[in-house]
Amino acid sequence: MNAYDVAVIGGGSAGYAAARTAAQAGANVAVIEGGEEVGGLCILRGCMPTKTLLESAHRNHQITRAAEFGIKVDKPVPNWSKIIDRKNGLIEDFASYRRHQLIKGKFDFIRGRAAFVDEHSLAISPLGSGKDSRQQRLIARSYIIATGSVVDRLPLPGLQETGYWTSDEAIQQSKPVKSLIVLGGGAIAVEFAQYFLHLGVRVTLIQRSPQLLKNHDPDLAAVLRDVFEKGGCGFTPTRSCWK
């Protein structure tokens, strides 16, 4: 059984930063990553993909305003598949660099799914169905859990029957859509509403809270809503849509 000072469960941005810092401080460290892909939420499905997509949408939106600046251009036509290709290429560059950092780091990098046996030991099940399916055992003095998050599936009546996208599906949409409803008024909902709106999609945003970005300054939220409405986004505030 391998023994470590620190074991980090999760090899995303937080897990890698924790492992690197602990190793630099002289600790004997292991990182266990159980995802099918290596890179973590921020690189593969979160911050980086959405910002990449938003940049394409911003460029499209700015071109539609060219006449304001005395420039005559034809109406831009977004190539959705090319936008997704650009995003995938950039994300693969980031992800491959992170894989290199994990493999070459001053710690042990273990691929497998971890489960606690007791307060100091882990059982690590290998990924896939290879020849060696035996569990590894690992003990550590301290653990850092950095496993990221999963999509929250809302218990909204009729949603399953109607069909919907989560953020995971939304960042992979390579075919144009004409209209879209965004459920929620938080940061992620606002990002996706703006992305699709700036690609020419008719967007309606349904929110439970009295304002967009309910945990932010009301004045800021009011300005943001004004910008959205001027851009053509519809709003439907509701208190009883889902629990």
Residue 130 has pLDDT above 70, yes or no: no
Q: What integer pLDDT is reported at residue 103 of this predicted model? A: 96
Residue 115 has pLDDT above 70, yes or no: yes
Percent above pLDDT 90 for the chain? 73
Task: Give me the chain's average pLDDT, please.
Answer: 91
Q: What are the tens digits of pLDDT across the range 90-108?
A: 999 999 999 999 999 999 9
DSSP the chain: -EEEEEEEE--SHHHHHHHHHHHHTT--EEEEE-SSSSS-HHHHTSHHHHHHHHHHHHHHHHHHTGGGGT---PPP---HHHHHHHHHHHHHHHHHHHHHHHHHSSSEEEESEEEEEETTEEEEEPSSS-S--PPEEEEEEEEEE-----------TTHHHH----HHHHTT--S--SEEEEE--SHHHHHHHHHHHTTT-EEEEEESSSSSSTTS-HHHHHHHHHHHHHTT-EEEE-SSS--
Q: What are the tens digits of pLDDT across the range 167-195?
A: 999 999 999 999 999 998 999 999 999 99
State the pLDDT confidence band at 208, using cuts at 50, 70 and 90. Answer: confident
Residue 242 has pLDDT above 50, yes or no: no
Q: What are the tens digits of pLDDT across the range 40-84?
A: 999 999 999 999 999 999 999 999 999 999 999 999 999 999 999
Q: What integer pLDDT is reported at residue 80 of this predicted model? A: 97
- Selected residue with higher pLDDT from 53 and 136: 53
With 0.95 as the threshold, say if the pTM is over it.
no
Enumerate domains of the chain plus CATH numbers: 1-149 (3.50.50.60), 159-237 (3.50.50.60)
